[in-house]
Amino acid sequence: MAQNNVLEVKHISKSFPGVQALDDVSFSVKAGSVHVLCGENGAGKSTLMKTINGIYQQDSGEIFIRGEKVEVESPIKASELGVSMIFQELNYMPEMSIEESLFVGRWPKKMLGRIDWKSIRERTLQLLKQEGLHFDPDTKLKELSISNLQMLEVLKAISRDADIIIMDEPTSSITNKEIEILFHKIADLRARGKAIVYISHKMDEVFRIADEISVLRDGKVVETRPKDQFDIDSVIALMVGRALGQGYPKENVPHGEVVLEVEHFSGPSGFNDVSFNAKEGEIVGFAGLVGAGRTETVRALFGLDEHTQGTIKVRGIPSKLKTVQDSIRSGIVMLSEDRRRFGIVPVRDVKENVALASMEQFFRNGHLYKAKERSKVKEICSRINVKMSSIDVPVSTLSGGNQQKVVLSKWMLREPEILILDEPTRGIDVGAKFEIYKLMTNLVKEGKSIIMVSSELPELIGMCDRIYVMAEGQIAGELKRTEFSQEKIMRYAMNIVSAG
């Protein structure tokens, strides 16, 4: 083992039913360095990290920490060995407070075994102040945004003072300001000799913070080199096994009649007097900074949150959309940015997840027609190109990108007219993103209408026909495709009146 390698895995293999997730993987991380892992969804990155963190146990191979062979039977054991992990999928208990979540599993105790809440409060306040996070320790996690939850996960990992910190897509849902805070913290951790394993699909991040880059494909490490020996094109080519065009598969699709009209839409969650529309065959984008009210608006439109005033018309007919069921019956479906909480049922298999919103199709006179259910689920999963060994595997065993496709498959079984896609490519690799874009193009060619909320301006510009820009809970501007530019969008997003 190299002298300054804090972590080394040798010949690790791991399989799940019908899937070889890791195939003879060897990998190492030096002290005081950032080692970035790149690869498509399903390439094995998260499986490898979960094996190092003790969530999975390898079928074969060895793990060394500080030169000693170790058996990592659980995340608790990993923590004892100095390994901490920030997960891509946020696993949190909504009813827990911030201070409870930061110290869960390691609560300090008093002499008689009682939890030392005073110590927890003092340490929580110290950590929050240290990281510049202005939260009340009593705030429940369910009251926080995805962005804030992600920052708390980063804080939790850092607070454990681990020697090896694994970060799986830590910037997938945080603001640019928070990203800068995180990168400053990474630089500080590197200077203190910590070893950081960083998983990201964002090439600008990869080349900004990496010391070394490893590319995984189909469960194998295909290349490891210092960052300076790579460029973006070579990393992408290694990831997908082929050259991938940088363009978006946008096609000019004729637009039909207006299918959705929203007027003077307001609600208590932070949007006010919002008006917009969408036509057949059109992709309508929503841009804006975090906190602008984009997600709050579409959540209320779909019935997940309350709205207090406004009118909604579907094909010219006023609709009282108060609940999710109302929206689905009106032909509106939504893919949430938090797919684990609102999209999938992790403990159920793919078949059950896909069929969940369409069970009336498969029941007659109280009898479930299982053959019809399986046939329909297989058909839609094939169309959406969900990569899996069978529809009977737990959805939790699929990669993040394929879980996203399962959610899309579920809604496509409903044959909706209007699809709301909130951050549809968050945490998805370049290859899977391209597939999602192609699917969006095919859907609008069928006459569907898509509303896409995204924090990535290039994909909005690349895929949309019109873009509404929100700021402070209101529509700040509307841009046609011929008017698109990142500068104009950002001027509206920052509420600068003139976008010229």
What pLDDT score does 189 carry? Answer: 87
pLDDT of 158 strictly over 80: no
pTM of the model: 0.61
What pLDDT score does 134 carry? Answer: 82
Average pLDDT over residues 354-363: 89
What pLDDT score does 499 carry? Answer: 44
What pLDDT score does 470 carry? Answer: 94
Average pLDDT over residues 72-97: 85
**Cβ contact 69:457 at 8 Å:** no
* Residue type, position 244, single letter: L
Buried/exposed code over 37-58 (b: 16+ C-beta within 10 A; e: otherwise): bbbbbbbbbbbbbbbbbbbbeb
CA distance 172 to 190: 21
**Cβ contact 69:62 at 8 Å:** yes
What pLDDT score does 1 carry? Answer: 46
Q: Where are the alpha helices (DSSP H) in 138-293?
A: 146-159, 176-191, 203-209, 232-240
5-95+140-240: what CATH class?
alpha beta
Q: Tokens for 128?
A: 């929050």
Average pLDDT over residues 213-222: 91
Q: Where are the alpha helices (DSSP H) in 249-399?
A: 294-302, 324-329, 339-342, 350-355, 370-384
Q: Is 173 helix (H, G, I), strand (E, B) or coil?
A: coil
CA distance 449 to 282: 5
Q: How does pLDDT run across 268-285, given as a tens digit for each residue?
A: 988 999 999 999 999 999
CA distances from 73 to 64, 107, 132, 183, 357 (A): 14, 21, 35, 31, 38
Q: Domains of the chain: which residue ranges?
A: 5-95+140-240, 258-493
Q: How does pLDDT run across 436-463, given as a tens digit for each residue?
A: 898 899 999 999 999 999 988 888 999 9
Task: Count the Cβ atoms, other than its own, within 10 Å of residue 454.
Answer: 24
Q: How does pLDDT run across 470-485, given as a tens digit for each residue?
A: 998 999 999 999 999 8
**Cβ contact 226:33 at 8 Å:** no
CA distance 228 to 210: 9
**Cβ contact 476:470 at 8 Å:** yes
Average pLDDT over residues 13-32: 89
Average pLDDT over residues 34-59: 89
CA distance 240 to 368: 41
Q: How far is CA 43 from the centre of its chain?
A: 16
Average pLDDT over residues 167-172: 81
pLDDT of 241 strictly over 90: no
pLDDT of 81 strictly over 80: yes
Q: Is 301 helix (H, G, I), strand (E, B) or coil?
A: helix
pLDDT of 220 strictly over 80: yes
pLDDT confidence of 497, banded at 50, 70, 90?
Answer: low
CATH topology match: 5-95+140-240 vs 258-493 = yes
Tokens 């609709």 identify what position?
Answer: 319
**Cβ contact 402:339 at 8 Å:** no
Give the closest residue to 199 by CA, choosing from 381, 400, 388, 12.
400
CA distance 224 to 456: 28
Most confident of 149-153, 246-250, 392-396: 392-396
CATH code: domain 258-493 is 3.40.50.300
What pLDDT score does 233 carry? Answer: 80
Give the closest residue to 444 by CA, choosing from 280, 299, 215.
280
* Residue type, position 101, single letter: S
Burial of 462 (0-12, 13-18, 19+ CB in 10 A): middle
Of 171-180, 220-229, 235-244, least confident by mean pLDDT is 235-244
pLDDT confidence of 246, banded at 50, 70, 90?
Answer: low
CA distance 447 to 30: 53
Q: How does pLDDT run across 372-397, given as a tens digit for each residue?
A: 999 999 999 998 888 888 999 999 88
Average pLDDT over the chain, rounded to whole? Answer: 87
Of 233-242, 294-303, 319-328, 382-391, least confident by mean pLDDT is 233-242
